[in-house]
Amino acid sequence: MRAVVYRGVNNLRLETVPVPRVGANELLVKVAVCGVCPTDIKKIHYGTVAPPRIFGHETAGIIVKTGSGVANRGLALKIGDRVALHHHVPCLDCHFCRHRAFAQCETYKRTGITAGFEPAGGGYAEYVRVMDFVLPGVVKIPASNSFEEGAMLEPVNTVLKAVKRLNLLRGDNVLVAGQGPIGLMFTKILQLRGINVLATDLLESRLKLAKQFGAQWTARVQSAKSEVRSLEALDAGIIAVPSNDAVAQAMQLVRGGGQVLLFAHTRRRDPVKQGEKRKEKSGNVFEPLDFASICLDEKDLIGSYSSDFTIQNEVARLVFSRRLDVRPLITHRFPLQQTADAVALASRPTESSLKIVVEHGITR
């Protein structure tokens, strides 16, 4: 089969590799669509994992083979089913799982879907092997929905998980910094929960989209502070861009008892020093975090990473009912042989690009 193999930093090659062999409690899925995720982009650009690997984990496709023991698992999965895949499933029993910190679970950290080499998702290949421990993460796609919608379940899951980490009440005001595909999903999910969203971005076109996705107010990044002055207050801030300046600004803008959630700070680097000032590309200079405000004003600075297996049915209902219609988010589609171009566009988005997917020519 054809697969795009990661061979080193910024080195993706279209190669021929063996079709994965499946065990008794495993599935073989023919890939239809795979989304391009920033998590994989960081690994490709910065070489944070050793090659060779076949990336791609926002995957949907068709079951073409089942192991002899799958029928005994009580999952009602059969050849021909159209499915969305989850490459991480927690044990639900360890210390971290008991505290609902699923992304810290050692079982969760294992990648259970592969197209060959060290398991890495495999969606940038024609077929993937779905291992036994992630079978509970397989979700059937209704006949009325597309493979693309199925591939969006995983990123939507990560967003809904993050929203559930916030202590919000209907009518609260929340800043969502960044209106790329993730930020727009935050905006819509919050709006569906009765939250008033102030959406910020550098691009006017993204702010227009934010309005369509339910934002109550929009503002360019530079104008966020003046916009907040016209509100009663901000109860939370969601940082959907990897900007330390955005974090500092949000911590200043939320009221006492509020929360700031980091969603996009997924590359480990040197910590921000207390008292250090940094300058944005825009020229704005924001003060660093004031740790006393966290203590005296009882503000929470929290993070959210990856998905929550326990809410996958809620996510499926949200996406497949189209209460959260993910279809407008997908702006660019690339064939498998142009995966490197898809990754390049996703890593340097244009004003017109949002979610990028790799398609395999299966349109059903």
Final residue before a domain boundary, out of 264, 288, 303:
303
In this predicted structure, what is the pLDDT of residue 222? Answer: 72
- Lowest mean pLDDT: which of 18-32, 43-57, 66-80, 187-201? 66-80
Shared domain for 97 and 183, answered yes or no, is no
Minimal CA–CA distance to 328: which of 233, 173, 188, 192?
188
Minimal CA–CA distance to 131: which of 177, 73, 92?
73
The predicted model gives 212-229 an average pLDDT of 83
Residues 6+ apart with CB under 8 A from 98: none
The predicted model gives 107-122 an average pLDDT of 97
Shared domain for 263 and 350, answered yes or no, is no
**Residue 74 pLDDT > 90, yes or no?**
no
> With bands split at pLDDT 50, 70 and 90, how would you rate the model's confidence at 282?
very low
Shared domain for 18 and 141, answered yes or no, is yes
Q: In this structure, is residue 289 part of a structural domain?
A: yes
Shared domain for 173 and 121, answered yes or no, is no
The better pLDDT of the pair 302, 269 is held by 302
The percent of residues above 90 in pLDDT, for the chain, comes to 83
Shared domain for 178 and 247, answered yes or no, is yes
Shared domain for 176 and 135, answered yes or no, is no
In this predicted structure, what is the pLDDT of residue 225? Answer: 67
Q: In this structure, is residue 20 part of a structural domain?
A: yes
Minimal CA–CA distance to 184: which of 202, 209, 163, 208?
209
The predicted model gives 305-318 an average pLDDT of 95
Minimal CA–CA distance to 6: which of 115, 88, 85?
115
Shared domain for 131 and 150, answered yes or no, is yes
**Residue 190 pLDDT > 90, yes or no?**
yes
Q: In this structure, is residue 160 part of a structural domain?
A: no
> With bands split at pLDDT 50, 70 and 90, how would you rate the model's confidence at 364?
low
Q: In this structure, is residue 159 part of a structural domain?
A: no
Shared domain for 293 and 326, answered yes or no, is no
The predicted model gives 335-358 an average pLDDT of 97
The predicted model gives 156-165 an average pLDDT of 98
Q: In this structure, is residue 364 part of a structural domain?
A: no
Final residue before a domain boundary, out of 303, 326, 348:
303
Joined tokens for residue 75: 């999952």
**Share in percent of the chain as helix, strand, coil (round to 5):** 35, 25, 40
**Residue 277 pLDDT > 60, yes or no?**
no
- Lowest mean pLDDT: which of 13-27, 94-108, 171-185, 282-296? 282-296
**Residue 287 pLDDT > 80, yes or no?**
no
**What pTM, to 2 d.p., does this model score?**
0.93
In this predicted structure, what is the pLDDT of residue 332? Answer: 98
In this predicted structure, what is the pLDDT of residue 98? Answer: 97
Joined tokens for residue 344: 């390049």
For the chain, give the mean pLDDT: 92
Q: How many domains are there within the chain?
A: 2
- Residue 121 CA to residue 5 CA, distance in Å, equals 12
Q: Which CATH number fits the domain that encloses residue 177? A: 3.40.50.720
Shared domain for 128 and 191, answered yes or no, is no
Q: Which CATH number fits the domain that encloses residue 144? A: 3.90.180.10
> With bands split at pLDDT 50, 70 and 90, how would you rate the model's confidence at 232?
confident
Shared domain for 312 and 296, answered yes or no, is no
The predicted model gives 7-16 an average pLDDT of 97
Q: In this structure, is residue 29 part of a structural domain?
A: yes
Q: In this structure, is residue 346 part of a structural domain?
A: yes
- Residue 233 CA to residue 258 CA, distance in Å, equals 10
Per the structure, the complete domain to which residue 54 belongs is given by: 2-154+307-359
Specify whether the CB–CB gap between 342 and 358 falls below 8 A.
yes
Shared domain for 57 and 135, answered yes or no, is yes
Q: In this structure, is residue 315 part of a structural domain?
A: yes
**Residue 279 pLDDT > 80, yes or no?**
no
- Residue 201 CA to residue 216 CA, distance in Å, equals 14
In this predicted structure, what is the pLDDT of residue 278? Answer: 53
Joined tokens for residue 281: 């590309």
H-type alpha helices, 33-105: 38-46, 95-98
- Residue 314 CA to residue 83 CA, distance in Å, equals 16
Instruction: Give one word for 322, left, alpha or beta, with left for phi > 0 and alpha for psi -120 to 50.
Output: left
Shared domain for 7 and 150, answered yes or no, is yes
